[in-house]
């Protein structure tokens, strides 16, 4: 199974690195913000965890110097509490429980110079364990209040597969920080999950049983639909903007090629016909072309082909082992191996290119960084970073020029989507 080993090699590589926040520093002086807990008669353990997530979110917003200290205060007062006197803004929250058992949160943003609230809102959630998404929503609202670059992706659910044991993996739903995790699929080898709709209600994944089989799973109903199976390998790597067609890597005749499957008509169209390896297809240029990974040069590299035509264009000229990619409009982020060590672990870094220019932007500099995925709006990239026997979820904010890492405590991430 040479081609299956080849596509999985990037996801199985390990290396030594610290899973800490990696921030590219700038000389810009940012306003200081403190986050204060004004909850009364609410579980202190949970309110402190909420504080940690919300303060971390404000770091990711990347527009403030955030005071990480846990501070308690009175909700009514429009002044910072002791320990946050130098703050330009104070973000206060008050957690409480409604008569119906819902978790409520009052939030207000205080301008300390004006000594008044400038933004207030109340939130509610039905399940207490979803508090992390409540914190993410507050951060997104604060970001929008200041009219910063939108960060709607911060509220999205992340879908990932993680290895638990040899030939055993689970599919998990989480938030982008991995603070919340819920196992959806377990038992056997379940890999390559991909969201199937804009509302994140259902997803595709590949299960290795008698033969690789692609399923669609509905989170709300628990219903599972078999889509297609294939000998050799079967991976759903992308879905079009209308959520009607998916890109598959299949090897029904021994060699993997790129296919498009029409979900409405249940029809299969073969895109590439190469006596080698074509995998990891991604829609490009508004769905007119497919970008994919191929060994046509004797090593993995990124190519593109117009759907319905036979000519193939090489897209990447930097790197000698470019084995995964993701697309947004005319942009491509890809993984490139940048060392060739026989007896030690190699480094894989992420690079960004446009089909309209020859400029290559280096996004990571060290370690093994794999399986990049653009956010829905193209402003951020999620990826996997492996280290020692662990892995972490990485976020790159392209315009803010900052990156963040969130380690996975149990298992290793195999693939992800958001």
Q: List pLDDT tens digits, range 101-149.
A: 789 999 999 999 998 999 999 999 999 999 999 999 999 999 999 999 9
Structure tokens at 9: 């090699």
**Is pLDDT at 221 greater than 60 in this prediction?**
yes
The pLDDT value recorded for residue 10 is: 35
CA-to-CA separations, 250 to 66, 90, 189, 280, 311, in angstroms, rounded: 48, 53, 17, 10, 20
The pLDDT value recorded for residue 18 is: 29
What domains can you pick out in the chain, each with its CATH number? Answer: 1-27+316-418 (2.120.10.30), 32-145 (3.40.50.10070)
Structure tokens at 47: 């309110």
Residue partners of 210: CB distance under 8 A and separation at least 6: none
Mean residue pLDDT of the chain comes to 89
CA-to-CA separations, 36 to 73, 106, 107, 143, 260, in angstroms, rounded: 6, 12, 10, 18, 51
Strand partners for 267: 262
Q: List pLDDT tens digits, range 327-341.
A: 999 999 999 998 777
The pLDDT value recorded for residue 3 is: 42
The pLDDT value recorded for residue 120 is: 97
The band of 9, judged by pLDDT with boundaries at 50, 70 and 90, is: very low
Cα–Cα distance measured from residue 347 to residue 143, given in angstroms and rounded to the nearest whole number: 35
The pLDDT value recorded for residue 82 is: 65
**Is pLDDT at 396 greater than 50 in this prediction?**
yes
Output b/e per residue, 82-114; b: 16+ Cβ within 10 A.
Answer: eebeebbbbbbbbbeeeeeeebbbbbbbbebee
The percentage of residues in the chain with a pLDDT greater than 70, rounded to a whole number, is: 91
The pLDDT value recorded for residue 83 is: 59
The band of 342, judged by pLDDT with boundaries at 50, 70 and 90, is: low
174 close to 417: Cβ distance less than 8 angstroms: no
| Mean pLDDT in residue range 304-321 | 92
Q: Rounded to an integer, what is the distance from CA 221 to the centroid of its chain?
A: 24
By CB neighbour count within 10 A (0-12 exposed, 13-18 middle, 19+ buried), where does 134 fall?
buried
**Is pLDDT at 346 greater than 90 in this prediction?**
no
The pLDDT value recorded for residue 26 is: 43
C-alpha R_g of the chain: 23
154 close to 60: Cβ distance less than 8 angstroms: yes
The percentage of residues in the chain with a pLDDT greater than 90, rounded to a whole number, is: 77
Structure tokens at 146: 């200041």
The band of 97, judged by pLDDT with boundaries at 50, 70 and 90, is: confident
Is pLDDT larger for residue 69 or for residue 98? 69
The band of 41, judged by pLDDT with boundaries at 50, 70 and 90, is: confident
The band of 65, judged by pLDDT with boundaries at 50, 70 and 90, is: very high
261-266 contacts, C-beta under 8 A, 24 or more apart = 261/227, 261/228, 263/227
The band of 12, judged by pLDDT with boundaries at 50, 70 and 90, is: very low
The pLDDT value recorded for residue 344 is: 63
The band of 28, judged by pLDDT with boundaries at 50, 70 and 90, is: low
Cα–Cα distance measured from residue 280 to residue 82, given in angstroms and rounded to the nearest whole number: 54
The pLDDT value recorded for residue 44 is: 72
């Amino acid at each position: 199974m040479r081609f299956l080993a080849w596509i999985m090699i990037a996801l199985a590589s390990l290396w030594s690195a610290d899973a800490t926040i990696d921030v590219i520093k700038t000389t810009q002086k940012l306003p200081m913000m403190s986050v204060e807990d004004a909850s009364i008669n609410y579980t202190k353990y949970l309110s402190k965890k909420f504080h940690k997530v919300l303060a971390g979110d404000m770091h990711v917003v990347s527009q403030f110097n955030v005071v990480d200290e846990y501070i308690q205060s009175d909700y009514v007062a429009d002044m910072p509490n002791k320990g946050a006197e130098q703050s330009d803004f104070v973000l206060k929250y008050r957690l409480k429980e409604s008569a119906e058992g819902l978790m409520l949160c009052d939030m207000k943003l205080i301008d300390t110079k004006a000594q008044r609230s400038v933004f207030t809102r109340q939130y509610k959630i039905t399940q207490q364990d979803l508090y992390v998404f409540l914190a993410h929503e507050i951060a997104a609202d604060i970001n929008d209040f200041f009219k910063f670059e939108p960060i709607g992706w911060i509220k999205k659910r992340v879908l990932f597969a993680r290895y638990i044991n040899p030939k055993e993996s689970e599919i998990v739903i989480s938030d982008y920080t991995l603070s919340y995790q819920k196992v959806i699929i377990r038992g056997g080898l379940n890999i390559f999950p991909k969201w199937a709709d804009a509302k994140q209600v259902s997803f595709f994944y590949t299960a290795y049983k008698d033969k690789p089989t692609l399923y669609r799973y509905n989170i709300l109903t628990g219903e599972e639909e078999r889509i297609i199976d294939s000998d050799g390998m079967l991976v759903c790597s992308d879905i079009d903007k209308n959520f009607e067609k998916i890109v598959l890597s299949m090897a029904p005749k021994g060699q993997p090629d790129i296919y498009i499957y029409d979900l409405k008509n249940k029809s299969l169209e073969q895109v590439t016909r190469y006596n080698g390896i074509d995998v990891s297809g991604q829609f490009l240029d508004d769905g007119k072309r497919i970008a994919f990974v191929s060994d046509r040069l004797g090593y993995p590299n990124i190519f593109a082909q117009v759907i319905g035509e036979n000519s193939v264009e090489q897209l990447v000229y930097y790197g000698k082992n470019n084995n995964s990619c993701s697309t947004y409009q005319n942009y491509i982020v890809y993984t490139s191996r940048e060392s060739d060590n026989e007896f030690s672990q190699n480094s894989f870094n992420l690079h960004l290119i446009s089909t309209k220019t020859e400029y290559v932007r280096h996004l990571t500099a060290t370690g093994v960084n794999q399986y990049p995925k653009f956010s829905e709006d193209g402003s951020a990239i999620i990826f996997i970073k492996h280290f020692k026997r662990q892995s972490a979820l990485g976020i790159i904010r392209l315009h803010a020029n900052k990156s963040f890492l969130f380690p996975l405590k149990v298992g290793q991430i195999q693939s992800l989507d958001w």
